Amino acid sequence: MKISSVIAVVVVMLGSSLGACSHSGQLGPKATPAKAAATNVQLAIEYMKLNKLADSQEFIGRALKEDPGNANVQLTAGLVYERLNDMPKAEKAYATAARLGKNDPNIQNDYAGFLCRTGKNAAGEKLFVNVARNPLYQTPEVALVNAGVCVRSTGDMLDAQRYFNRALAVRPNMPEALLQLGNVAIDAGDGADALDYVQRYLAVNPATPEVLWLGFRAQRKLGDATAAAVFARRVQTEFPNSEQAKLMRSGVDR
């Protein structure tokens, strides 16, 4: 699982205005540098979501020139450069964002994710823990799950489980924590424990292809072909375009 799947950037949706924007990105003579940068950041994000990375790079470049001392501008630059696989620029932008936004736990959370994605797991884990302890951070369970994902990627399953369970202590039945614990269990060969997490998840959360896939794998591990087929059918019917459905159609079941 990518850390990025757990780390979010809040974006102001531009709606239909994006389609009306000319590529020149002219913002009008009265736009202050800060406002111009904010608009260009939004455009960079929207074009990145459309996978138009050249356009995204152009707009974030403008924002960096207009307001380089803004932590959110630097953070978005980090995201864009990471998507472009320009890791030196991404690292510089993320580090700058973290320095400028040292009192913003959301920015610190994003920087921790980058550290984990780039092999600096110990530093990323430590930063996630600090974010979780920050009273200004409203969702400490998210940072705890992020820390668990970070250490799990190094093979440290015991610490990963500890973080996931700490997240559940903060927010019982948190979907991501339950799913992560289920995946740890199935990777350890414990189909019964994995199935228990699946059942707990589905009792209070909407189904996702990820949790149904885990249920399928758990039932296969337990040798219950009939129950596994029920999960497989749900994946195919409820989420036919998911990666999990594609794996099933290709004959992959693990």
pLDDT score of 30 more than 90: no
- What pLDDT does 253 receive? 61
**High-pLDDT (> 70) share of the chain, %:** 87
146 in the same domain as 221: no
Is 2 in the same domain as 69?
A: yes
Together in a domain, 6 and 84: yes
For the cut 60, the answer to whether the pLDDT of residue 1 exceeds it is: no
Q: CATH code at 158?
A: 1.25.40
**DSSP conformation letters of the chain:** --GGGT--------TTHHHH--TT----TT--HHHHHHHHHHHHHHHHHTT-HHHHHHHHHHHHHH-TT-HHHHHHHHHHHHHTT-HHHHHHHHHHHHHHTTT-HHHHHHHHHHHHHTT-HHHHHHHHHHHHH-TT-S-HHHHHHHHHHHHHTTT-HHHHHHHHHHHHHHSTT-HHHHHHHHHHHHHTT-HHHHHHHHHHHHHHS---HHHHHHHHHHHHHHT-HHHHHHHHHHHHHH-TTSHHHHHHHTT---
| Domain span including residue 208 | 177-254
**More confident call, 9 vs 179:** 179
Whether residue 109 is found in the same domain as residue 41: no
Residue 208 and residue 136 share a domain: no
Q: Please tell me the total count of domains within the chain.
A: 3
User: For the domain that residue 48 is a member of, what is the CATH number?
Assistant: 1.25.40.10
Model-level pTM greater than 0.85?
A: no
Whether residues 95 and 131 fall in one domain: no
244 and 181 assigned to the same domain: yes
Query: Residue 17 pLDDT > 60, yes or no?
Result: no
Mean pLDDT of 219-228: 97
- pLDDT at residue 28, rounded to an integer: 52
